[in-house]
Chains A and B, each alone.
Chain A
Amino acid sequence: MTIKAKFFAHFRDLFGGRTRDLTVAGGASAGDALEALCDTPERRAEVFSGGELKPHIVVMLNGVPIQSLKGLSTPLAPGDTLAVFPILGGG
């Protein structure tokens, strides 16, 4: 199935663009999609620490942080949007 990944802040440079369409197996999880996106050592090092997400990484599925769902095990559906970015702040 196809999902869409969206990147923000310096992750646009890191992942080579604002968005990327990704083909994953049926039943794939958010973690599977992230593994597929982190297809270079640099990308992997920025996002993962061992098998876990680094603490400053935010991943949202259709606008909901995956921590509120099932974390990296959150199942994906066709057409989902996965947003990946570092924690930002503002006023």
Chain B
Amino acid sequence: MPDFPISGYHGRVLVADLTRGEVRTVPLDPDTALSYLGGRGLATRLLYDTIEPACDPLGPDNAFVIASSPLVGSGAPTAGRGHMVFKSPLTGVIGTSNSGGTWGAAFKSAGYDALVVTGASASPVTIDITPERAEILPADHLWGRTIHETNDALAAASEPGRPARVLCIGPAGENLVRFAAVANDRNRVYGRCGPGAVWGAKKLKAVRVRGREKIAVADPEKYKSGLDQAIYLMKQAPVTKRLMRDLGTAGLVELINLIAMLPHKNFQDCLHRDEDVERISGETLAKTVLEKAGSCYLCPIGCQRHTRVAGRDGGEERGEGPEYETMVLMGPLCGIYDMAAITRANYRANELGLDTMSFGGTLACAMELAERGLIGREEAGGLDLAFGSADALEALVVMTARREGLGAALAEGSFRLAAGRGRPECAMTVKKLEIPAYDPRASLTQALGYMTSPTGACHLRGGYAVSLAFFGGAREIPRFSLLQSPIAIRNMQNVGILQDSLGVCRFTGYAFSADPWARMASGVTGRDFSVARLEEIENRVATLERQFNVEAGVTADDDSLPARFADVPIIVEGKERRVTREDQDRMKRDYYAVRGWDASGRPAPELLRSLRIEESRR
């Protein structure tokens, strides 16, 4: 293949057709690289060009795409994340999932910019990728094994200077649990939207990568000026300098409670006793189960929690986490404040390959249905399904991964669980994706983020408005501003698109925004990736995601919160707060206008042309 004209890219996309059992390399189009950058942007474009958005997400016509970026391999801080895009079996709309760890950087060093996997194998397989060859290998001996076992077995092929990194599914993915996850490095998880089930339907157990391929840097001086700026700012910012390392993301638990945003009992309210919240705080985690902090590839922040906890039968267990989302959604959302139980259940989720967020949301929904007499003790196999039951948490995480007993119903996610009992209003989801651990009644901006996130209710793709509620000074906007929320959340969503398309971590955003990335991206590639051009790319990707979703059947009605948030208030700062239907409609309408979409939330043909979003090449 002739040299690719843009530095930072290999110019090669690996396409694996699992139906035919073939892999082939296709060239990356330079214009696509310049227009979509990498990571989430590039993967979305490649997916859009590969599948019909109306396809069956668990059928052979679905695909998943993982794309790297020009910064991966350059040594930029945190630049090694992977981003995966697919049609989600949980939501039926675009699914995107992101993770740190080492696989992303190793994939780039194997000599490719993106991996596209289509079709389905009749029997279990892995894909093995080195610069010399890429092949599909039989994997019957691995089918049924946990994420940890699979990772360790395949990582044994590491050579000095060429470590083998493994991305794999566990039993949950094999059993097509709709919120099954894919993991690398044992505990670094591509968690949301159910990619594990997509892999499981394709009978793909793992993708292993190793290599030493380097990228060229076109303008080292410009790159270095951006790098120096980034490193300096990360050392200045307290969050990235020290606070994440001390407390991890669970440091947020007490603070979110302080601003009356901490969810409780399937979002029935936000009322907790202080002494209960203390039991699951980051401070308590640091004093009890934490062994040490850890970092992803090239990351100075160190927010990973390596922990150990007493096993249920004595002895000691080790693993990673819990993170904030897990602690809350498998904790107070289910009425549980038992950190040891939450930690053990987290370990099971990591081993079996389940999204802790959707599992917690689905369990909380099941507990509410049980409270209403719609799931009986017999159906639960004798388990106590009341809110607060740590026994139910620890038993059902395993049963759900295996689709055993009541776990088979939970494996379908909270929306299908509740709808199946005639109570869809008990599922706290947007587009069937379970809502994260921030109550939207406590922030209209966050509410709008959940409504308009392309993947369903998500604080990472929908825009992270919570820090806006905390921080004084220029960055703060009032929590309950109808007027400011649409632009504010659009801006936060775009920041996320940029970070996901560069393969870098959200937490760098606490130290700096676009300017250092613009210098680094322009420096590596020798092309114009100025802040203005990056914004154009962000808008292009956001609208392409929406276009995909429109073709998958999404309408403006889907950009709405469950009725509870409009009908049942919570108390914030002494006032009753809810997100009325009128407010939802108004913010939604203004958001569409800000995005340039029509009043029904559809991108008009003129917009697609002006953003240079070409028609699909599928």
Residue contact A68 to B476, C-beta cutoff 8 Å: yes
Q: Assess whether B283 is in contact with A9, with CB atoms less than 8 Å apart.
A: yes
In the assembled complex, B297 has its CB within 8 A of some CB on chain A: no
In the complex where A9-B251, A65-B470 touch, is A91 in contact with B283 (Cβ < 8 A)? Answer: no
Whether the Cβ atoms of B243 and A87 lie closer than 8 Å is: yes
Using known A-B contacts A10-B246, A88-B243, determine if residue A63 contacts B573 with beta carbons closer than 8 Å.
yes
Q: How far is the CA of A77 from the CA of B72 in the complex (A)?
A: 53
CB-defined contacts of A23 to chain B, threshold 8 Å: none
**Taking CB as reference atom, which chain B residue is nearest A91?**
B249
Q: A8-B255, A88-B252, A89-B507 are in contact. Are A66 and B472 (CB under 8 A)?
A: yes
Q: Which 7 A-B pairs have the closest CB atoms?
A: A67-B472, A90-B252, A56-B238, A90-B249, A89-B239, A90-B324, A89-B510
Interface assignment of A48: CB less than 8 Å from any CB of chain B:
no
Chain B residue contacts of A86, Cβ below 8 A: 238, 243
Can you list 7 A-B contacts with CB-CB less than 8 angstroms, sorted by A residue number?
Answer: A8-B258, A60-B258, A63-B573, A65-B471, A67-B472, A89-B510, A91-B459
Query: With A62-B574, A88-B255 given, can you name 17 additional A-B contacts, CB distance below 8 Å?
Result: A6-B258, A8-B283, A9-B283, A10-B246, A18-B278, A58-B471, A63-B260, A64-B573, A65-B472, A83-B258, A85-B255, A87-B471, A88-B243, A88-B470, A89-B249, A91-B323, A91-B324
Cα–Cα, bound, A20→B247 (Å): 22
B244 within 8 A of A: yes
Contact B247 A58 (CB under 8 A): no
> Of B239, B250, B259, B464, which one neighbours A87 at CB under 8 angstroms?
B239
Compute how far the CA of A66 lies from the CA of B472 in the bound complex, rounded to whole angstroms. Answer: 8
Give the CA-CA distance A87 to B236 in the complex, in Å. 12
A70 at the interface (CB under 8 A from B): no
In the bound complex, do residue B573 and residue A88 qualify as a contact, i.e. CB atoms below 8 Å apart?
A: no
B569-618 residues at the A interface, CB under 8 angstroms: 572-574
Q: Does A55 contact B (CB under 8 A)?
A: yes
Any chain A CB within 8 A of the CB of B325?
A: yes
**A8 adjacent to B246 (CB under 8 Å):** no
Choose among A6, A55, A83, A88 the residue that contacts B473 (Cβ–Cβ < 8 A): A55
**B251, B325, B464, B506: the one within 8 Å of A88 (CB):** B251
Q: A12-B283, A88-B255 are in contact. Are A58 and B472 (CB under 8 A)?
A: yes
**Count the B residues whose beta carbon is within 8 Å of the partner chain — how many?**
40
Complex contacts, A12 vs chain B, CB 8 Å? 283
What is the distance, in angstroms, from A57's C-beta to the closest C-beta of chain B?
9
Pairwise interchain contact A91-B325, C-beta atoms closer than 8 A: yes
List CB contacts (< 8 Å) of B281-328 with chain A: 282-283, 323-325
* B residues lining the A interface (CB < 8 Å): 237-239, 243-244, 246-247, 249-252, 254-255, 258-260, 278, 282-283, 323-325, 459-460, 464, 466-467, 469-473, 476, 478, 506-507, 510, 572-574
Q: Are B478 and A62 in contact (CB under 8 A)?
A: no
**Complex CA–CA separation, A6 to B255 (angstroms):** 11
Q: How close is A78's CB to chain B, nearest CB, in angstroms? A: 15
How many A-B pairs have beta carbons closer than 8 Å: the answer is 85
Complexed CA–CA distance, A91 and B469 (Å): 14
The interface on chain A, measured as residues whose beta carbon lies within 8 A of the other chain's beta carbons, has a size of: 26
In the complex, are the beta carbons of B244 and A89 less than 8 A apart? yes
Q: Please give, as numbers and ranges, the residues of chain B lying within 8 Å of A8 by CB-CB distance.
A: 251, 254-255, 258, 283
Chain A: which residue is nearest B473 at the CB level? A67
A67 to B574, CA, bound (A): 19
Interface residues in A8-50 (C-beta closer than 8 Å to B): 8-10, 12, 18
B residues in contact with A89, CB < 8 Å: 239, 243-244, 249, 252, 467, 507, 510
Q: A12-B283, A55-B473 are in contact. Are A87 and B238 (CB under 8 A)?
A: yes
**What is the CA–CA distance of A66 and B278 in the complex, to the nearest angstrom?**
24
Give chain A residues whose Cβ lies under 8 Å from the Cβ of B238.
Answer: 56, 86-87
- CB–CB B247/A9 < 8 A: yes
- Residue of B whose beta carbon sits closest to that of A13: B283
- A4–B254 Cα distance when bound, in Å, is 16
Cβ-closest chain B residue relative to A66:
B472
- Chain B: minimal CB distance from A87 (Å): 6
Is B478 touching A88 in the complex (CB atoms < 8 A)?
no
* A17–B30 alpha-carbon span in the complex (Å): 58
In Å, the complex CA distance between A83 and B260 comes to 13
Contacts of B252 in A (CB 8 A): 88-90
Complex: A64 Cα to B258 Cα, angstroms: 9
* Residue of B259, B325, B478 with most chain A CB atoms under a 10 A cut-off: B259
**Distance of B499 from chain A, by nearest CB (Å):** 12
Q: Say whether, besides A67-B473, A88-B243, A89-B510, A62 and B249 are in contact (CB < 8 Å).
A: no
- Rounded to whole Å, the gap between the CB of A2 and the closest CB of chain B is 18
Give chain B nearest CB distance to A12 CB in angstroms. 7
Closest to B325 in A: A91
Alpha-carbon distance A51/B422, docked complex (angstroms) = 60
Least Cβ–Cβ distance between A74 and chain B, in angstroms: 12
Assuming the A-B contacts A89-B510, A91-B506, are A67 and B255 also in contact, with contact meaning beta carbons closer than 8 angstroms in the complex? no
The minimal Cβ–Cβ distance linking B477 to chain A, given in whole angstroms, is 10
A85 to B323: give the CA distance in the assembly, Å. Answer: 20
Q: Which residues of B contact A63 (CB under 8 A)?
A: 258-260, 572-573
Of listed B258, B323, B478, residue having the most chain A CB within 10 A = B258
Complex: how many Å from CA A8 to CA B403?
A: 41
